[in-house]
Amino acid sequence: MSSDVAKHLKSLSFGIMQGSYEQVYKAHHALYNIGTEALPLIEETILKQSWGDVKHGAQIGQLIGMLNLIHDIDEERAKAVGEQIRKSGCSVKVNRRISAITSFTMDNFNCFEVAGVKIYQAKQLGKQLSFERRMKKWLAVVPPEDLAQIERLYLVPKSDSDYLGYYMPILCKIVVEWDMPFSNFNPVSWLFLFLIKKTFYHEIGHHAHRHTFGQDPDQEKEADRYAAKLLFKSHPLFVGTLKKIIGIFVKPKKAEEPVT
């Protein structure tokens, strides 16, 4: 069994370094199926590395890949490993990733599946049935191939972070913050739902285009275009009218003006 763990762990690490989503996906599932017997070697691999001065996205990817795997198998072991990394010294970026991974506890989520995607909805957001209905409606306009290999999709309450959602490359996990300060019966609730939906499709766009780590402007624009396309399919009249209004107020550049 130990040789199998070492083989799959090597495949996982190599897949992360090479950006091979399929290889990472297969190795992750193989190690997850082995379960707790795989944990000692995974933990040893993480803890022997220095996390104080991480400079490369691939290094962060290694941490996310392995710590997420531990968390999927045993949440408490993942928290313990995260604390050991903090005590040994780690960068702010690494500390944030540890918090993002270990803050999720399955006891606090309703779990269901829509269009082949595992969805984890924070219980404090409300009834599972209403979210299942909404997810079926929202995902109905997404091409099935764009949802392939999404490992998990989390719907969580709004935090004090400066983002509304994020996508974890390699592990193909999506987190969307449900920023809904009003009830569904409030006249302006539709606007907040529309903004959540935009974030929802934006993060799926990152997955569909297999984007990498970091805030890359070109990747963000591509994800925005993807979200706009799906929003137009869902709300053709509203989005079409919005485009016309924006077009009225935004003065187009003249041909001789330089593009900045």
All structural domains of the chain with their residue ranges: 2-103, 107-246
At 198-235, the pLDDT tens digits run 999 999 999 999 887 667 889 999 999 999 899 988 88
Residue 245: which pLDDT band, with cuts at 50, 70 and 90? Answer: low
Domain 107-246: assigned CATH number: 1.10.390.10
Q: pLDDT for 183-194, tens place per residue? A: 666 677 888 888
pTM, full prediction: 0.65
Give the range among 24-28, 111-115, 116-120, 133-137 with minimum mean pLDDT.
24-28
**CA–CA separation, 169 vs 189, rounded Å?**
31
pLDDT digits (tens, 9 = 90+) for 151-192: 889 999 987 766 788 887 766 889 999 988 766 666 778 888
Confidence grade of residue 240 (pLDDT, cut at 50, 70, 90): low
Measured CA to CA, the distance from residue 71 to residue 119 in angstroms comes to 17
Whole-number pLDDT of residue 185: 67
The whole-number pLDDT of residue 234 equals 84
Q: How far apart are alpha carbons 142 and 205 in whole angstroms? A: 10
